[in-house]
Amino acid sequence: MIPIISIVGKSDSGKTTLIEKLVPELTRRGYCVATVKHDVHGFEVDREGKDSWRHKQAGAHTVVISSPHKVALIRDVEKDLTLNEIRGKFIADVDLILSEGYKKDVQPKIEIFRQEKHKELLCTREDHLVAIVSNKKFNVGVPCFQLDDMNGLAKFIEKEFLKSKRERKVSLNVDGRPIPLSPFVSDILTKTIKGMLSSLKGCETSNRIEILMEGEEG
């Protein structure tokens, strides 16, 4: 299951800025990251007059806009979805989901706190707080990182939430060229191949698997 971490904090604490800095650091480490922004006031992505807006105005429950580089989905919902529901319905093929907001959700939370703007933390460990990013030191039983320490924060996330994806080494070579694999794709390949091999006699358990495919399809 894709892990979810909520970036939380009081108003004007810098949640979006933290995500803007953290995503490139995790991406540099080879992870594929999805983000979810919670907006309690609602939002519009299909501008009036555009084809997608006209489709929705005509009564379509779901509108999908597709291009060679992006896909967007506009869908009616009956309630404010939880992060678990969003993950289950809409997100796949990633290693980690970072959300902005969702302070009342049950997912692990990293709180950003600026001492010049706020007096006390928003969350406690009972609220599933796992780390703090701040220019003030806290002693509340969770790690505390400096505002610009994206390396340390990414290492923490990797160790606590993504470690199992790094323990397994999978390599792919096509025509002698190594093909880089994200942790998610590596995990899918491993589960698929081991799942097929488990039904073959003598292959139920294995530490090293090699597959060689040569020639063209007829």
Q: What share of the chain is helix, strand, coil (3-state, %, to 5)?
A: 30, 20, 50
HSE on the CB side for 108, CA within 13 Å?
15
Alpha helices (H) in the chain, listed in sequence order: 15-28, 51-57, 83-90, 150-161, 163-167, 183-197
The domain tally of the chain equals: 3
What are φ and ψ of residue 170, in 5° steps? -130, 130
Domain final residue pick, 126, 145, 165: 165
Q: What is the CATH number of the domain that holds 141?
A: 3.40.50.300
3-state secondary structure of 174: strand
pLDDT tens across 73-117, in order? Answer: 888 888 989 999 999 999 988 899 999 988 889 999 999 999 998
Distance, in Å, from the CA atom of 211 to the CA atom of 52, rounded to the nearest integer, reads 46
Q: Which domain holds residue 135?
A: 4-40+80-165
Say if residue 90 is in the same domain as residue 74: no
The pLDDT assigned to 212 comes to: 75
- pTM, whole model, 2 decimals? 0.72
Neighbours of 26 (CB within 10 A): 20
Say if residue 33 is in the same domain as residue 84: yes
Say if residue 155 is in the same domain as residue 214: no
Say if residue 85 is in the same domain as residue 66: no
Say if residue 14 is in the same domain as residue 104: yes
Say if residue 21 is in the same domain as residue 114: yes
Domain final residue pick, 145, 165, 185: 165
Say if residue 106 is in the same domain as residue 29: yes
What are φ and ψ of residue 88, in 5° steps? -70, -35
Say if residue 21 is in the same domain as residue 116: yes
Which residues are paired to 98 by β-bridges? Answer: 5, 35
Say if residue 188 is in the same domain as residue 89: no
pLDDT tens across 187-217, in order? Answer: 788 878 877 887 787 776 666 777 777 766 5
Say if residue 146 is in the same domain as residue 197: no
